[in-house]
């Protein structure tokens, strides 16, 4: 969803970023640890959107390994992933695949 928003002060319209969200489950046996968090951060860097991860009432910036680790996500944890930006849909698709592939750990 992309919306055009009028800017009354300039008389011009500006583009509003797309917002997408998806619920993901941590399925790898080691949970969301440092290597997995680093893969998420690398994925975010390859897109033109911001990523936020939420567990319960805590939301963190998906471009920070340390922030992701503060969520303390063992196997079975559900997270809400929210992407904001021009390619938010592609970012969430790639993130969903990364989770489905258990961060390349195969367990």
> From the candidates 33, 50, 90, 102, which is the catalytic residue?
33
Domains and CATH numbers, the chain: 18-104 (3.30.1340.10)
- Residue with structure tokens 């440092």? 34
Q: What pLDDT sits at residue 82? A: 98
Q: What pLDDT sits at residue 4? A: 34
Q: Is 19 noted as a catalytic residue in this protein? A: no
- Residue with structure tokens 């959107």? 49
Query: Which residues, other chains included, contact 2 with Cβ-Cβ below 8 Å and sequence gap of 6+?
Result: 15, 16, 17, 18
What is the C-alpha separation between 80 and 99, in angstroms, rounded? 12
pLDDT in 10s for each residue of the chain, 107 residues = 333 333 445 455 455 678 999 999 999 999 999 999 999 999 999 999 999 999 999 999 999 999 999 999 999 999 999 999 999 999 999 999 999 999 998 77
- Beta strands of the chain (E only): which ranges? 3-7, 12-16, 19-25, 49-55, 58-61, 78-85
Q: What is the DSSP letter of 103?
A: G
């Amino acid at each position: 969803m992309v919306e055009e928003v009028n800017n009354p002060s300039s008389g011009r319209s500006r583009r509003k970023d797309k917002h997408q969200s998806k619920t993901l489950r941590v399925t790898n046996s080691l949970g969301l640890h440092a290597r997995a968090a680093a893969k998420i951060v690398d994925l975010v860097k390859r897109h033109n959107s911001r990523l936020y991860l939420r567990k319960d009432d805590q939301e963190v910036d998906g471009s920070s390994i340390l922030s992701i680790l503060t969520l303390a996500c063992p196997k079975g944890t559900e997270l809400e992933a929210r992407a904001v930006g021009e390619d938010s849909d592609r970012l969430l698709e790639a993130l969903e695949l990364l989770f489905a592939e258990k961060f390349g750990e195969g367990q």
